Amino acid sequence: MPNPWKEISLDDYEKHMSLESVRQLQTLDSIMKEQFAAYPVETAAVLGVAGGNGLEHVGTDKYRRVYGIDINANYLRAVAQRYTELSGALECLQIDLINEAEKLPKAQLLIANLLIEYIGYGAFQRAVLQTTPEYVSCVIQINTDEEQWVSESPYLRAFDRLDEVHHQMEEAALTATMNEIGFSLILQESCPLPNGKALVRLDYKKNEVQL
């Protein structure tokens, strides 16, 4: 069976995420503005870029190269069409992060928003080690309802197969995962959502090598 993310239409995904009862697209957009501005870097990789939400905050005066990475080729085509002003800086790459981490490019900043849930901690560790970033900025969803982790919406059926690949996230477990590969937590922020869930941003910095 193909990865379920290859079968979810971008239209269904974005309409669901932007509903007033969900508001994840809008919340992520404001978080990504901060992520792109936060650190002294000039290259970034966005894992699970989807339709490119948040890329409007990429300043080409700061960023020499930004990689948009996703498993869904249709999403990447939409990104390329939507962000023509980033041509020359933006490069879209179709990569299966679970099976093809070795294809990932190097980048100083790694952004992974609502992505680790669908590949697991081990695959995320491999992605980080391949990318060799100085900073990693993640957003995970914390759920109050263990049974219904996808919010109710008219588009709910589009996400039926995501249970096959979904992993429940915990802040402490992610931080322990990052500690194992030499990264320390430097920022933790929570953004409440209208449906009782929350988006938690966790930023990590690569530890200095002790001589």
Res. 129 pLDDT band, cuts 50 70 90: very high
Share of the chain above pLDDT 90, in %: 69
Q: What is the pLDDT of residue 155?
A: 46
Count CB atoms within 10 A of the CB of residue 113: 25
Sorted by where each begins, the domain ranges of the chain are: 4-206
Tell me the residue ranges of DSSP E strands in 104-162: 109-113, 135-142
pLDDT single digits (tens) 49-59: 999 999 999 99
Strand partners, 163: none
Interatomic CA distance for residues 12 and 128, integer angstroms: 29
Interatomic CA distance for residues 42 and 64, integer angstroms: 5
Mean pLDDT (the chain) is 90
Interatomic CA distance for residues 154 and 68, integer angstroms: 28
Sign of CA pseudo-dihedral 159, 36, 69, 188: negative
Q: Does this model's pTM top 0.85?
A: yes
Element (H, E) at 77: helix 73-82
Q: Domain 4-206 falls in which CATH fold? A: Rossmann fold (3.40.50)
Q: What is the DSSP string of 3-20?
A: -GGGTS-HHHHHHHHHST
